[in-house]
Amino acid sequence: MRILEAAVAEEEEGARPILQRREEPLMGRSVGGDVHLTPPSNFGVVDGGIFRSGFPISDNFPFLEALNLRSIVYLCPEPYPAANAEFVRSRGIRLFQFGIEGSREAFATISNHAIMETLGVLLDVRNHPILIHCKRGKHRTGCLVGCFRKLQNWCLSSVHEEYIKFASVKARPSDMKFIEMFDVSCMMQCVLHILYRYHGFGNHTRRLAYQKIS
Amino acid sequence: MRILEAAVAEEEEGARPILQRREEPLMGRSVGGDVHLTPPSNFGVVDGGIFRSGFPISDNFPFLEALNLRSIVYLCPEPYPAANAEFVRSRGIRLFQFGIEGSREAFATISNHAIMETLGVLLDVRNHPILIHCKRGKHRTGCLVGCFRKLQNWCLSSVHEEYIKFASVKARPSDMKFIEMFDVSCMMQCVLHILYRYHGFGNHTRRLAYQKIS
């Protein structure tokens, strides 16, 4: 995983306190104003503070700005285009790049380690609000969100229903199999690590929901 | 609009303070636990604290419970089934019923007044977390969410893209036309009313994002 952005040296609990940023506006800035916002293609809300989409173009930047993003998870191996790199740099958005090949079967054979690392970023509320995207927001993003839903204990058929909603006619059985085979128990250490890092972080910090692990 | 629930007499700023409830867990309760949660069909996250779906059945109640819902907007004219009514009653969830007929063209002719009233409930963060549902979560829910997106200043093609994602092959041109024709300016009074009600409600209250209205 590469972290590519200007704000990488920012103290983790530094300049932008979580609580202040958690007072997020209803998505999009204005009610009845005259600026039209264009979400990236295949945009969706995954959970409070977690978004997904296809590749953002410059037309989408005002919308992304309205989301008040703290981080972006970018799932393609190609370098970020100059305009996008400048956007994240100028807004102090942390860019986590996990270069996953987009070929038909590649994701089905990706290591659990890469998924775990990506989910670790996604689960850490200090990275929220966060946008996950690949090229079309269907396969790589769909697999990652599918694994996230399994962590949330969604039943598999609901996870697949959501995958299909975003992949539409491009849905791949290999991706759905990958999601099915993803073993959530491998995330336990990561989750414990996050909880550990949060311990004593203040009463007002949002916490991950978790069950006691025996 | 009918409000049907046990908690209707609850003081608005009463027993369940907003800030406490806004520390929502990542949706679904546990990480790696063994209870599988089943979201209602066609479930989606609209925005922080706003969800959409098809008709929930009893299998979905544990999932809905995990959402920590404060309110439900139910868009069908039929009475709520006994099991659902008992669920909302026992959890102190406020049920707002807006009886909109589900026939093919009915929603296209529904009054702006009904939509405004429904959006007024949806916009009021004191009702969050809130679930919107009809029967299949495609047409009535899709129209309402479409109007909501217009309030958020999404461009029309993105609003339609989202409508189609949830309606799939059942997408109706008449619904999409309805969304297009919805005049957001009619919501101004409603929004001002909400802002007025929030004035002085405490520094920590989440506020609607809005532009100054001239």
Q: What is the mean pLDDT of residues B77-99?
A: 96
Q: What is the mean pLDDT of residues B73-80?
A: 95
Of chain A residues 128-187, which have a CB less than 8 A from chain B? 149, 151-155, 157-158, 161-162, 165-166, 168, 184-185, 187
Size of interface A-B (CB pairs under 8 A): 170
Is residue A205 predicted with pLDDT exceeding 50?
no
A50-54, A110-114, B149-153 — most confident range: A50-54
Q: What is the mean pLDDT of residues B158-172?
A: 96
Start-to-end CA distance of chain A, whole Å, equals 31
User: Looking at residue B159, what is its pLDDT?
Assistant: 97
Query: Does A143 participate in catalysis according to the annotation?
Result: no
Start-to-end CA distance of chain B, whole Å, equals 31
**Phi-psi domain of A88 (left: phi exceeds 0; alpha: psi -120 through 50; beta: other):** alpha
Is residue B107 predicted with pLDDT exceeding 70?
no
Contacts of B26 in chain A (CB under 8 A): 47-48, 123, 152, 208-209
Helix H or strand E segment including A74: strand A71-74
**B160-165 LR contacts (CB < 8 Å, sep 24+):** B161/A41, B161/A42, B162/A43, B162/A44, B165/A44, B165/A165, B165/A166, B165/A168
Q: What is the share, in percent, of chain B residues with pLDDT greater than 70? A: 69
Contacts of A166 in chain B (CB under 8 A): 165
Query: Contact B207/A48, CB-based, under 8 Å?
Result: no
User: Looking at residue B35, what is its pLDDT?
Assistant: 75
CA distance A23 to B94: 24
Q: What is the mean pLDDT of residues A90-98?
A: 96
Q: Which of A122, A151, A88, A85 is nearest to A1 (CA)?
A: A122
Q: What is the pLDDT of residues A62-72, one digit of tens each?
A: 999 999 999 99
Q: Is A144 exposed, middle or buried (0-12, 13-18, 19+ CB in 10 A)?
A: buried
Which of A134, A147, A155, A186 is an active site residue? A134
User: Looking at residue A196, what is its pLDDT?
Assistant: 64
Q: Which of B149, B210, B155 is nearest to A36 (CA)?
A: B155
Which of B31, B35, B185 faces A191 most closely, judged by CB atoms? B31
Q: What is the pLDDT of residues A136-148, one digit of tens each?
A: 999 999 999 999 9
Q: Which of A79-88, B20-29, B95-104 has the lowest mean pLDDT?
A: B20-29
**For residue B52, which phi and psi values (nearest 5 degrees)?**
-140, 155
Q: Is A109 exposed, middle or buried (0-12, 13-18, 19+ CB in 10 A)?
A: exposed
Q: What is the pLDDT of residues A118-130, one digit of tens each?
A: 998 998 888 999 9
Res. B27 pLDDT band, cuts 50 70 90: low
Is residue B18 predicted with pLDDT exceeding 70?
no
User: Looking at residue B52, what is its pLDDT?
Assistant: 98
Q: CA geometry: angle at B36 spanning B32 and B37, to 5°? A: 115
CA distance A68 to A48: 13
User: Looking at residue A139, what is its pLDDT?
Assistant: 92
β-bridge pairing A130-133 and B50-53:
unpaired
Is residue A208 predicted with pLDDT exceeding 50?
no
User: Looking at residue A201, what is its pLDDT?
Assistant: 47
Owner of token pair 């910090």: A205
Which pair of tokens denotes residue B24? 């929502």
The partner residues of A131 in beta bridges, in order of sequence, read A51, A72
8 A C-beta contact, residue A42 and residue A166: yes
Instruction: Report the largest interatomic distance among the alpha carbons of chain B, rounded to a whole angstrom.
Output: 54
Contacts of B54 by beta carbon, 8 Å cutoff, 6+ apart: B40, B41, B42, B43, B133, B134, B135, B136, B137, B138, B141
Contacts of B30 by beta carbon, 8 Å cutoff, 6+ apart: A153, A209, A210, A211
Query: Contact A32/B162, CB-based, under 8 Å?
Result: no
User: Looking at residue B214, what is its pLDDT?
Assistant: 32
Q: What is the share, in percent, of chain A residues with pLDDT greater than 90? A: 54
Which pair of tokens denotes residue B27? 């949706």
8 A C-beta contact, residue A56 and residue A40: yes
Is residue B46 predicted with pLDDT exceeding 80?
yes
Helices A173-181, A140-151: crossing angle, 10 deg rounding? 30
Res. A199 pLDDT band, cuts 50 70 90: low
Which pair of tokens denotes residue A6? 């200007």
Q: Is A16 exposed, middle or buried (0-12, 13-18, 19+ CB in 10 A)?
A: middle
- Residue with more model confidence, A101 or A53: A53
Contacts of A175 by beta carbon, 8 Å cutoff, 6+ apart: A107, A108, A139, A142, A143, A146, A163, A167
